[in-house]
Amino acid sequence: MSETMKTIGLIGGMSWESSAHYYRILNEETGRRRGGLHSAPVILHSVDFAPIAQMQAAGEWQAAGHQLNAVARNLAAAGAQVLGLATNTMHVVDDIMLEGVDLPFVHIADPTAEALLADGFDTVGLLGTRFTMEMDFYKQRLTSHGLTTLVPEVDHTNLNGIIYEELCKGIVRDESRRVFQAAIDRMAARGAQAVILGCTEIGMLIDDSSSALPTYDTTDLHARALVSAALAS
């Protein structure tokens, strides 16, 4: 008798481009681990990203957290048994989002840190939105695992613009790839041993074949960790 699998509740849409990658990886990993025609039981709530992005830009984090809390509660009511938030940046409000939600929650930074440590790395570069790179919530989570984190010493608004104006719209440009490659090169020169693709869209632009450092794609690692959590007894 094959192992049973809990239903994954996924809060997506930030952006839908990366959420589509989540859906594919969740099902591919489930099929790999369970075999046959098995796929992942998933309840996906894909939000409208425009209002969330406006709240981010305005610093209205509490309001955004309450909006995601309503989504998380709805997923729990719909039968989700494991919860994932398919965006790095919005983990800044995970405490608000989880208020009154009694579900196991897989934080996106945890499987990322575990993979880095398992590979023997302790000093890592972090790429992401300017919020993820400049605010403390993500770096502190990595520090709690024993990792030292470096962020690019470049104009973060430039990297941010590529994410929001290109990758979130499915636009992948070689010129933008070179911008991220240059940021990785600078972090490598400062001692970074590997780089976290700490925005769920960056894997569309950068991977091991185009990076001077080993890359750790949070989308891939998080989706696989959600499958593990859903299969855990």
Catalytic residue (choose from 87, 149, 200, 215): 87
**51 in a structural domain:** yes
88-113 mean pLDDT? 97
Instruction: Report yes or no on 71 lying in a domain.
Output: yes
Give me the number of domains the chain comprises: 2
Looking at the structure, tell me whether residues 203 and 117 fall in a common domain.
Answer: yes
Mean pLDDT of the 12-23 span: 96
Quick one: 156 and 214 in the same domain?
yes
pLDDT at residue 3, rounded to an integer: 72
Q: Are residues 148 and 65 in the same domain?
A: no
DSSP letters along the chain, please?
A: -PPP-PPEEEEE-TTHHHHHHHHHHHHHHHHHHH-TT----EEEEE--HHHHHHHHHHT-HHHHHHHHHHHHHHHHHHT-SEEEES-SGGGGGHHHHTTT--S-EE-THHHHHHHHHHTT--EEEEE--HHHHHSSHHHHHHHHTT-EEE--SS-HHHHHHHHHHTGGGT---HHHHHHHHHHHHHHHHTT-SEEEE-STTGGGT--GGG-SS-EEEHHHHHHHHHHHHHH--
CA distances from 111 to 106, 108, 136, 222 (A): 8, 6, 18, 6
- Within this chain, do residues 152 and 51 fall inside the same structural domain, yes or no? no
The answer to whether residue 2 scores a pLDDT higher than 60 is no
Catalytic residue among 89, 168, 199, 218: 199
Same domain, 133 and 197: yes
Residue 157's pLDDT is 75
Instruction: Please indicate, yes or no, whether residues 114 and 209 belong to a single structural domain of this protein.
Output: yes
Indicate whether 2 belongs to any domain: no
Same domain for 93 and 24: yes
Q: For residue 39, what are the domain limits?
A: 8-107+221-231
- Structure-token pair, residue 207: 């991977």
What's the pLDDT tens digit per position in 140-183?
999 999 999 999 987 777 899 999 999 999 999 999 999 999 99
CA–CA dist 72, 68 (Å, integer): 6
Work out whether strand 194-197 and strand 8-12 pair parallel, antiparallel, or are unpaired: unpaired
Weakest-pLDDT range from 1-10, 23-32, 86-95, 114-123: 1-10
Give the integer Cα–Cα distance in Å for 55 and 203.
Answer: 24
Q: Are residues 35 and 125 in the same domain?
A: no
CB-CB contact of 64 with 90 (8 Å): yes
Has 168 been annotated as catalytic? Answer: no
Residue 129 backbone dihedrals phi, psi, to 5 degrees: -65, 165
Say whether both 185 and 210 belong to one domain: yes
pLDDT at 1 over 70: no
CATH (domain of 113): 3.40.50.1860
Residue 157 placed within a domain: yes
Position 3 in a domain = no
Q: For a pLDDT cut of 70, what percent of the chain falls above it? A: 99
Place of tokens 């709530």: 45
Whether 41 is covered by a domain: the verdict is yes
Same domain, 164 and 98: no
116 part of a folded domain: yes
Residues 6+ apart with CB under 8 A from 198: 88, 112, 126, 127, 128, 132, 133, 138, 218
What digits encode the pLDDT tens for the residues 178-232? 999 999 999 999 999 999 999 999 999 999 999 999 999 999 999 999 999 999 9
199 is catalytic: yes
Q: Are residues 93 and 139 in the same domain?
A: no
Domain presence at residue 1: no
Are residues 205 and 191 located together in one domain of the fold? yes
